[in-house]
Structure 1
Amino acid sequence: MTTSTPPLREAARAILLDPDVRVLLLRYDENDGFWATPGGSLEPGEDDTTAALRELHEELGIDEQAVELGVQLAERSTTHLVGGRTVRQVEKYFLARVGAAAINPACATQPDNIRGYRWWTVTDLRRTKETVYPVGLADLVARVRDGRIPRHPVVLD
């Protein structure tokens, strides 16, 4: 019996913070429902930061000029289904700052299966019983809020 390694899918995601250090999460219904940061897979020849900005426009209608894209805060590797196919996804999470007025879902070009969006405080994240990805997001946002931006990307579960 042979076991094959799932194909690699590289993704760039944004930990999108407003001036009040609330993080924007998107709601999805699959897998009993969950909240996640905006982002998605890299297109051929695309770098991580370009992909993150593109995804913010596609999913939330954000003009890239309205986003202050910062350092890579974290990385996560997970194996899951995408389009009915098992992949090993490596996600890089970038700090991004934006005013709430920059969010314009009417201009989103690829909202995929997004059912809604919401701004969350660190307290909201810590108190919720809902599923939020990535695990450890509350602690990471708290570090940024407190001015303790990691020197190297944190590895998330």
Structure 2
Amino acid sequence: MTDLPDADLPEADLPTRDIARALVFDPSNRLLLIEYEAVRPIDPAHPEALGFWFMPGGGLEPGESHEVACRRELSEEIGVADVALGPCVAVCDGPFRLFRKPRWARERYFVVRLASDAVDTSRLAETEDNPVRGTRWWPLAELAASAERIEPAGLAELAQRIASGDVPDQPVRLDWQNA
């Protein structure tokens, strides 16, 4: 038994969660991200800075593949059902502590291209552990230049690469930003 708060658990004690997420592009090659509120300051020098941006997606349910989970999560979070998934273009494995329930996250990222920018996020907040601040379609140049916290590191560069037509043959490895 430990007296440590969940956010302070050693890496070896974090529960593992398999997660599927999507780089969701609209016809203008903007990327859809969700802003969450962190449970602890992201930057100790700026304790008021609690927002971070993340891709739609979530944990696998028992018996689900990453692909099935990704489709289910997109239906739940952005109201897009029966989406065609592109390839798995990235992975990010490691401790993630910005959510209420810290975890060893094993994430897989798939490409999704929507026919329009119409999404329905009315059910998003009810499915999430952390408070949801909103969603935004990010023009890729703004995303790359933003001072906002975007997780994982390297997401903006990967999105630009994919939008330019250079889809990785094998998943690239991304990393958390001291999350």
Name the TM-score class by shorter chain: 0.7 to 0.9
Which structure carries more strand by proportion? Answer: 1
CA distance in 2, matches of 1:79, 1:107: 27
* Residue in 2 that maps onto 1:47: 65
CA distance in 2, matches of 1:97, 1:134: 20
Q: 1:72 aligns with which of 88, 97, 104?
A: 88
The alpha-carbon deviation at position 126 of structure 1 amounts to 1.4
Which amino acid is the alignment partner of residue 35 of structure 2? R
Unaligned runs of 5+ in 1: none
**CA 1:94–1:116: 2 relative to 1, 3 Å:** same
Within the alignment, does 1:143 sit opposite 2:161 as a pair?
yes
CA contact (8 A) 1:59 1:110 kept: no
The alpha-carbon deviation at position 110 of structure 1 amounts to 3.7
CA distance in 1, matches of 2:31, 2:99: 27
- SS of equivalent residue, structure 1 residue 105: coil
* Residue in 2 that maps onto 1:27: 35
Q: For the aligned residues, what is the CA RMSD?
A: 2.0
CA contact (8 A) 2:125 2:132 kept: no
Unaligned runs of 5+ in 2: 1-9, 41-49
User: In percent, how many aligned pairs have the same letter?
Assistant: 38
CA distance in 1, matches of 2:173, 2:143: 19
CA distance in 1, matches of 2:124, 2:66: 20
CA distance in 2, matches of 1:105, 1:83: 19
Matches within 5 A, 1:109-148: 110-112=126-128, 113-148=131-166
* Residue in 2 that maps onto 1:61: 79
Give the number of aligned pairs: 152
The alpha-carbon deviation at position 86 of structure 1 amounts to 3.9
Q: Deviations over 1:109-134 (max 9, x none)?
A: 84423221001122111111110112
> Which TM-score applies when normalising by structure 1?
0.87
